[in-house]
Structure 1
Amino acid sequence: MTTVRAVRPWGGDLSDVDLADGRISAIRPHTPGSSPPADVVEGRGRLLVPSFADVHVHLDSTRLGLPFRPHTASPGIWNMVLNDRQHWRDAEWPVAQRATHTLGMMVARGTTRVRSYAQIDADCGLERFEAVLAARDAHADRCDVEIIAFPQAGLLREDGVVPLIEEALRGGAAVMGGIDPCLLDRDPVRHLDIVFGLAERHQVPVDIHLHEPGELGVYSTDLILERTRACGMQGKVTISHGYALGGVSEATTRRLLDEFAELDVAMATVAPSVDTAIPVDRLTAAGVRVGLGEDGQRDYWSPYGNADMLDRTWQLAFTHRYRADELVEHCLAVASSGGASILDPAAPRLRSTADRPGLTVGDPAELLLLDGDTVTAAVMDRGADRTVIHAGRVVADALELR
């Protein structure tokens, strides 16, 4: 047994927290002056929160750890795909080394649960998927990683992609990916038939990138919902991004929220600076699971990203214009417990903006100690005095891996 001593769960009273068999086994008031147990993690009065769950990251495209390069991509998904193709093989490190380095940075900053995309297309074949597999294996004792077989360039524009996706699903990918059925592949029915068909065949969940604007995004979403219902895949589908679904009519947004809740379709956001996304407080209030991710990290798509989900939590609060403590803290709950419920639909879910799950007896010992007077202060200050616990064991401290 390990005791995390003198911590403040979600900013509450000073407590001692016992961990056993990878779970929280007891929480009790801290007694000053008591003799520490043999195996103790000193909390020093820091906050205790669930560790981060990054449910939307592209480990196969990162350039963290390498010299900064100018951004060269022009707007548009296909243009960015082509820009990435032109440059990714010329990086100073091979993909596996970059992915492994970035995943280590993520763990050191507090992330112990990850869902990463692995690009599979006619250009890279399975090379980038295998690199993410290598990163997952290198940090297997520090974090849990789900890999998405992701057709970044579409399933239909180029020959040979679907067999590669299926090979990845047989070789360790845990999620079937899809992307912009109308804008990219221009055949939404066939695209989604393949996505859901492969998911059913391999008994894996679905995660679909949706950048499509306005009513086009609603059209694709309705097709996704239709297939979710027809295939009996309630609780197994995530829509990532969905930038435009809060920018249509209020009646349409309300209908979508109700159907997401009915079919248990989750949403993953990367905290974009747009006014057309559905706010996370509305998703939570409607009963929709919602999580946060970092997307690409200083790659050939974007110069942003630094492997720190606490920074991305700040961004989520900032782009939502949240100021009240409850809403800022809710952003951290989304970044931790919210994402965890996407990875495991049986995990505790956020039920309101005041809900703070993940730190009760029986919960997984996926924990993060942070410095800060309050949770909101920790989000604002984003300090370096952090201790990261995975499966009941310290895996990083002061931003360094153990």
Structure 2
Amino acid sequence: MITIIRNARPWGGALADVIMNDGAITAIAPAGPDPAPGGGTVVDGRGRILLPSFCDVHVHLDSSRIGLPFRPHTGSPGVWNMMQNDRRNWRDAEVSMTERTTTTLGRMIANGTTRVRSYAQVDVDCGLERLDAVIAAREAHADRADVLIMAFPQAGLLRESGTPAVLEDAVRAGADLVGGIDPCALDRDPVRHLDIVFGLAERYGVGVDIHLHEPDQLALFSTELIMERTRALDLRGRVTISHGYGLAALPEPTLRELLETFRELDVAWATVAPARTPLPLVTLAEHGIRVGLGEDGQRDYWSPYGNCDMLDRTWQLAFTNGFRPDRLIEHCAAVATVGGRSVIDPSVRLASVDDRPGVAVGDPADLVLVPGDTVTAAIMDRGPDRTVLHRGVVVADHGELIPDGAA
């Protein structure tokens, strides 16, 4: 199926016509009156900027109240306390968990996200109920987005009897990655915690994603243990550190030495653009570290923040890093798009801070048109006039999903 985007500006450049077939970009030519003789579906770019679609590599689809009435925040500080607050409330929401995950994913797609890595909480309290809801959301939007699921022991692995068995059940049920969280600070037994996580990864051939909220030296210790297991099991390119802002607080010589190990073992990093201790994006780019962006929770029982808009989170990434030059702000867009793809697929790379890939012949036809004079202006203004394509098919326009079969 041929699709032609007319009069668009790839990465804010000159007007062009972009031709797609079989889910990939097949040709790019200067804008003209007839970009593809013989017909095809034509999308009017109207001079908008054409970017790779967004890739959210750190989102909790099962932790969302998007579309529901706003409620006051009732959590108290600390991972365990916040998790308990979530437990007390998530079953009492106005609609089912499946409806919440499906609605949230749909809004993400409508705003321009077509690749997602979502966590699904699994523990002795919820069993696989939340995993099943994330799977249902993936199936509901299978023609609009590609979704990977991470089985995530939000409550830790060792504080409640039976959790490792539930985590293994989740991997058996189809989770694409196995997760861990704060091996020292939460479970207080990093060796046993990581042995369970990496043991499941080895046994079932899945990737690993570790939530790391720990402070600097503790985060460093946990990361060194993660690296040991990555090397021992030869899981190069299959391990991700999420958050890890404690590592960003390390002295620069220590951090740079650690990043050499990241590079050697091709360990990726996922950030949600935290307000404090942002990741040093330029330094990570200099070391060739794969970095992606995510939205975390969405107006949930953990936090009132989150709106399903990765362009908004791109602005936050630039803002929290204090970026002002256009090239650095545009780099945030590269991280939010192709950077996320690189976390999922290690064969994809951002070559440098100035690399703007993803809209060239041979690239996947997962694209988003956004309004703006420049890419930086698009990030600053975050206008709603967007058209979203997945595998060369329009799946959303101006904030609304296209019904299946109607594109």
TM-score, L = length of structure 1? 0.98
- What amino acid is aligned across from residue 248 of structure 1 in structure 2? L
Pick one of 174, 188, 191 that aligns with 1:186: 188
- Relative distance call for 1:219 and 1:397 in structure 2 (3 A) is same
CA deviation after TM superposition for structure 1 residue 32, in Å: 4.3
Amino acid of the structure 2 residue aligned with 1:338: G
1:2 positional shift: 1.0
Partner of 2:295: 294
Q: Distance in 2 between matches of 1:204 and 1:38?
A: 39
State the alpha-carbon separation in 2 of the partners of residues 353 and 49 from structure 1: 16
Secondary structure at the counterpart of residue 113 of structure 1:
strand
- Secondary structure of the residue aligned to 2:248 is coil
Q: CA deviation at 1:103?
A: 0.3
Q: Which deviations, in whole Å up to 9, do the C-alpha atoms of 1:334-364 show, x marking residues without a partner? A: 00000001111122x1111110011111111
1:29-40 pair list within 5 angstroms = 29-32=30-33, 37-40=39-42
CA–CA separation in structure 2 for the residues paired with 1:299 and 1:197: 31
Q: Which amino acid aligns with 1:168?
A: A
Question: In the alignment, which of 246, 263, 266 is matched to residue 264 of structure 1?
Answer: 266
1:375 to partner: Cα distance? 0.4
* Match in the other structure for 1:305: 306
For residues 373 and 168 of structure 2, the distance between their equivalents in structure 1, rounded to whole angstroms, comes to: 49
Judge conservation of contact 2:55–2:338 (CA < 8 Å) in 1.
Answer: yes
CA 1:122/1:390 → structure 2, altered by over 3 Å: closer, same or farther? same
Residue type of the alignment partner of 1:398: H
Alignment partners' CA distance in 2, 1:38 and 1:58: 37
Structure 2 Cα separation of the partners of residues 324 and 117 of structure 1: 34
Match of 1:78 in 2: 80
Give distance in 2, aligned partners of 1:331 and 1:243: 17
In structure 1, the partner of 2:345 is 344
Contact 2:17/2:35, CA 8 A, preserved across alignment: no
SS at match of 1:377: helix
Aligned to 2:353: 353
1:43 is displaced (CA, Å) by 0.6
Letter in 2 for 1:309: M
Q: Does 1:362 align with 2:362?
A: yes
Matches of residues 27-106 of structure 1 in structure 2 within 5 Å?
27-32=28-33, 37-106=39-108
Quick one: which amino acid aligns to residue 28 of structure 1?
A: A
Q: Distance in 1 between matches of 2:391 and 2:273?
A: 28
Q: For 1:83-106, what per-residue CA distance to the aligned partner results, in whole angstroms no more than 9, with x for missing partners? A: 001111110011110000000000
What is residue 333 of structure 1 aligned with on the other side? 334
Distance 1:332 1:250 in 2: 25
The correspondence for 1:248, drawn from 247, 250, 256, is: 250
**1:38, CA displacement in angstroms?**
3.6
Paired position in structure 1 for 2:204: 202
For 2:6, what is the secondary structure of its paired residue? strand
Amino acid of the structure 1 residue aligned with 2:364: P
- Following the alignment from structure 1 to structure 2, what is the Cα–Cα distance between the partners of residues 297 and 38? 38
**Which amino acid counterpart does residue 350 of structure 1 have in structure 2?**
L
- 2:405 is aligned to none
Change (3 A) 1:49 1:185: same
Report the alpha carbon displacement of residue 34 of structure 1 after superposing the two structures with TM: 6.7
Aligned residues between the structures? 400
Which residue of 1 is the match for residue 381 of structure 2?
381
Tell me which amino acid in the other structure corresponds to 2:317: L
Note if contact 2:29-2:35 (Cα within 8 Å) is conserved in structure 1: no
Q: For residues 260 and 186 of structure 1, what CA distance do their matches in structure 2 show? A: 24
2:27 alignment counterpart: 26
CA RMSD of aligned residues (A): 1.1
Shift of 1:122: 1.1
- Written as runs of structure 1 = structure 2, the 5 A alignment for 1:160-175 is 160-175=162-177
Rounded Cα–Cα distance in structure 2 between residues aligned with 1:9 and 1:306: 26
Query: Does residue 147 of structure 2 align to residue 145 of structure 1?
Result: yes
Is 1:124 aligned to 2:126, yes or no? Answer: yes
Q: Secondary structure at the match of 2:12?
A: coil
Identity %: 66
TM-score, L = length of structure 2: 0.97
- C-alpha displacement at 1:115, in angstroms? 0.2
User: AA paired with 2:185?
Assistant: L
C-alpha deviation, 1:278, in angstroms: 2.9
- Write the distance in 1 (CA, Å) between the matches of 2:389 and 2:47: 16
Task: Supply the distance in 2 between the matched residues of 1:327 and 1:180 (Cα, whole angstroms).
Answer: 31
- The amino acid that maps onto 2:296 is D
3-state SS of 1:68 partner: coil
Local SS of the residue matching 1:197: helix
